[in-house]
Amino acid sequence: MNNASSPDTFTLFVDRDAWSAKLDTALRAAGIPFIAHRDVFAHNTPDEEWLAEAGRRGWLVFTRDQNIRRRPDELKALRDAGVILFALTSGNLSAQETAELAVASWLKITRLAAKTTPPAIFSITRGGEIRRIER
């Protein structure tokens, strides 16, 4: 496994498009270690740049941006950096629903990440189903 974190110490990197105050509060309350995009990068930081850093640090990426896998430069950055990314498939989730889904999915996310050789992209459905969609 190329991930710098062990299964017990994974850190969730919350992309700017998924972050909300409700998600922040829910992750903190659940004791889930996370880093928000805004705490490390400027808002306009290109995805290729933060993906590279996420890979270097072994962060698990949580995003609403399903198109990363469709943009050649971003997909290349994800692959080159060895990122494991979890993308929400429903674009119309409220901040509260996103927060609840992130917390409810955390155990599944860490279990999948622990047995996955990066790079990898997983989808998370509104119902909490997680499946691998890209290598």
Chain segment 86-114, per-residue pLDDT in tens: 999 987 899 999 999 999 999 999 999 99
Amino acid at 103: V
From first CA to last CA, the distance across the chain in angstroms is 14
Q: For 73-100, give the DSSP string.
A: HHHHHHHHHT-EEEEES-TT--HHHHHH
At 80, give phi and psi (nearest 5°). Answer: -60, -35
Confidence category of residue 3, pLDDT binned at 50, 70, 90: very low
Q: Answer yes or no: are the C-beta atoms of 22 and 95 closer than 8 Å.
A: yes
Q: Answer yes or no: are the C-beta atoms of 34 and 11 closer than 8 Å.
A: yes
- Three-class SS of residue 25? helix
- Three-class SS of residue 77? helix
Taking only the tens place, the pLDDT of each residue in 37-62 is 999 999 999 999 999 999 999 999 99
Q: Is the peptide bond before 72 cis (omega within 30 degrees of 0)?
A: no
